[in-house]
A and B are shown apart, each in its own frame.
Chain A
Amino acid sequence: MRRYSAFAIAREGARYHQGWERAWNSPVPKKKYDVIIVGAGGHGLATAFYLGKNFGITNVAIIEKGWLGGGNTGRNTTIIRSNYLQDPSAAIYEKARSLYETMSQDLNYNVMFSPRGVIMLAQTQSEIRGYQRTAHANALQGVTTEWIEPARVKELVPIINLDGPRYPVLGGLWQARGGTARHDAVAWGYARACSDMGMDIIQKCEVTGVMQEGGKVTGVQTTKGDIACDKLAMVVAGNAGDLAGQAGFRLPLDSVALQALVSEPIKPCMDVVVMANTVHGYMSQSDKGEMVIGGGTDGFNNYTQRGSFHHVEETVRALIETFPIIGRLKMLRQWGGIVDVTGDRSPIISKTPLGNTFINCGWGTGGFKSIPGSGWAMAELVAKGEPGPLAADFGLNRFREGRFIDESVAAGVAH
């Protein structure tokens, strides 16, 4: 792999950009791999990357039914934060956030990580208490967050209306090291690094069955033929329940649509990420100037990647009250992704009832921010066959044993 650098740009500029290589290979699948990862989104590619980087396992195929990073990885609102209430969540999300800080250097790919700060607005009395509690929990977990008063919110976000008639801003939880990153670049950067390590990224190849023998996985049936493997990692977000069904077990998940939208581009007006969980809306401004807006999920099971219009209306109505300046903006695009939601709103990184098969799913509405941490923990699980400290609490058995990691109160809506 030729490294990207200022020198490379100068070199290619001098020869009409004829020397750029393809960022990753698209090979024909081999007959057998040590590890097959189903799903070439952020989490699947990160799993592959850390399998190679941390454990030296590079005979790996990443199989994707659509195109690379075309699911939720390319559909989220790119928010990165780690201000979670429960210890296991804070640990894995903070690991992810810290890996984002050096990701561009680690991958030699500019993921445009922008630690611009994230505010979660408190707009009810119970949110004030909830976020102050989270701030105390974060202090104990070593995650730097801070409770801030309305005057400080106004200082950070001059366009905000503190005195909305329905939901006045009463303060906020501020994480200065949170922010955003370019979501496509995260997938592309990992894909390029994986391909460089000799891994095969196989796109437009759908898994249609899981082959097993004596309680252990032996391979997968795909639209490009059967592929054998020693270990199988399922990292398919909204489609996890369907794939698990092919392997013969059920999951505690419901797949629902989550929507986002962007406005026409405007001049820079807001340089932090603002989340308003009570009113189901969150907003940041992209480098192109578009206001990127996320809303709440639909209540019903859905695999169509489009959601109900009234949720968009609810979100925008609430945001206009909080940010009157956006009232006349036109919206350019609106889209949906299918998120897999667990009962306790925490993910699953776990062994499964089928031997040598591992699953990473249930990130619900908060998957993007966790990509590197999730891949790190999943790679350890796949390589060693047992979860490491980051993944230990996120096993499937927690539902049977009643050990929930309950983030539904702290962060049930917006991520």
Chain B
Amino acid sequence: MLTLHCPNCGVMADETELHAEGEAHIKRFGPGSSDEEFENYLFERKNPKGVHFERWRHVAGCGKYFHAARNTMTLEVYGTYSAQTLAPPKTLVNAIKKKHPEWEGWA
């Protein structure tokens, strides 16, 4: 079973306490944006085979959002971090890169 460390309340949370919220770091568009930008923001997803940065919510715990880096091919969890950021922490990206040199990196 998937367990993730919640960076907000500090506990190791079991999958049944959590809710997956999809791709993280999506750039948002507001009024005045083009149809293409809205389509990209609202619907199109990277859905990668491999390293995935995603949002989770600790619904049956502290109730707060956080981010996780996880591998969709192996279910390996690389780490979790605060949702109060526009990009994953450099140390985490470097650690994943070190483990998987063929990974194209976070973009």
Contacts and interface: CB of A to CB of B under 8 A. Distances in A.
B1 A241 contact: no
Given A242-B49, A400-B36, A300 B20 contact: yes
A343 interface: yes
A241 B52 CA distance: 13
Nearest to B52: A301
Contacts of A308: 1-2, 15
Contacts of B36: 400
A298 B39 CA distance: 25
B3 to A, nearest CB: 11
B43 A300 contact: no
Main secondary structure of the interface of B (DSSP, over half): mixed
Nearest to A298: B20
Contacts of B54: 300-301
B102 interface: no
A255 B74 contact: no
B20 A400 contact: no
Nearest to B19: A299
B94 interface: no
Interface string A238-249: 010110010000
B9 to A, nearest CB: 20
A252 B73 contact: no
- Secondary structure class of chain A's binding surface, majority of residues: mixed
A343 B45 CA distance: 11
B47 A255 contact: yes
A252 B44 contact: yes
Contact of B22 (A254, A304, A401): A254
B72 A253 contact: no
A4 interface: no
Q: Could you say which of A245, A253, A301, A308 has the most chain B C-beta atoms within 10 Å of its C-beta? A: A301
B59 to A, nearest CB: 11
Interface in B7-58: 15-16, 19-20, 22-23, 35-36, 38-40, 42-49, 52, 54
Contacts of A251: 44-45, 47
B75 interface: yes
Given A241-B48, A301-B20, A400-B39, 19 more contacts: A241-B46, A241-B47, A242-B49, A245-B48, A250-B40, A251-B44, A254-B45, A255-B47, A255-B72, A300-B2, A301-B22, A301-B54, A304-B75, A308-B1, A308-B15, A310-B15, A399-B39, A399-B42, A401-B35
7 contacts: A239-B49, A250-B46, A254-B22, A308-B2, A310-B15, A343-B43, A401-B35
Interface of A: 239, 241-242, 245, 250-255, 298-304, 308-310, 343, 399-401
